[in-house]
A = this chain, B = another copy of it.
Amino acid sequence: MTEFKHVYISEISKYEGQDVCLKGWLHGKRSSGKLHFLQVRDGTGHIQAVIFKGDVDEEMFKAADALTQESSIVICGTVKEDKRSKIGYEIGVKSVKLITESIEYPITPKEHGVAFLLEHRHLWLRAPRQQAIMKIRHQIIKSVRDYFDQNGFTLVDAPIFTPSACEGTTNLFETTYFEEKAYLTQSGQLYMEAAAMALGKAYCFGPTFRAEKSKTRRHLTEFWMVEPEVAYNDLNDNMDLAEDFVEYVVQEVVKNNRKELEVLDRDISKLENVKKPFPRISYDDAVEILRKNGQTFEWGDDFGAEDETTISEQFDKPIMIHRYPSECKAFYMKPDTENEKLALCVDMIAPEGYGEIIGGGQREDDLDVLLTKIKEHELPQEAFEWYLDLRRYGSVPHAGFGMGIERAVSWICGLHHVRETIPFPRLMDRIRP
Contacts and interface: CB of A to CB of B under 8 A. Distances in A.
How many copies of this chain? Answer: 2
Interface residues of A, number: 95
B163 A432 contact: yes
Contacts of A125: 156, 194-195, 198-199
Interface in A394-433: 394-396, 422-424, 426, 428-429, 431-433
Interface of A is mostly: mixed
A122 B386 contact: yes
29 contacts: A10-B152, A23-B232, A23-B396, A43-B154, A44-B201, A70-B393, A70-B394, A99-B395, A102-B394, A103-B393, A105-B394, A122-B390, A125-B156, A126-B197, A130-B198, A134-B156, A138-B149, A138-B155, A142-B145, A145-B145, A157-B423, A160-B209, A163-B431, A163-B432, A173-B177, A180-B431, A195-B423, A207-B207, A386-B433
A72 B126 contact: no
Given A199-B43, A424-B159, A154 B175 contact: no
Most buried by B among A6, A70, A432: A432
Most buried by B among A209, A386, A424: A424
B122 A389 contact: yes
Interface of A: 6, 8, 10, 23-26, 42-44, 70-72, 99-103, 105-106, 120, 122-123, 125-126, 130-131, 134-135, 137-138, 141-142, 145, 149, 152, 154-163, 173-178, 180, 182, 184, 191, 194-202, 206-207, 209, 211, 213, 221-222, 224, 231-232, 365, 386-387, 389-396, 422-424, 426, 428-429, 431-433
Nearest to A130: B198
Given A159-B222, A182-B431, 19 more contacts: A8-B152, A25-B197, A42-B200, A43-B154, A43-B201, A70-B393, A99-B395, A100-B395, A101-B394, A125-B198, A125-B199, A130-B198, A134-B198, A137-B155, A142-B155, A157-B422, A160-B209, A161-B431, A178-B429
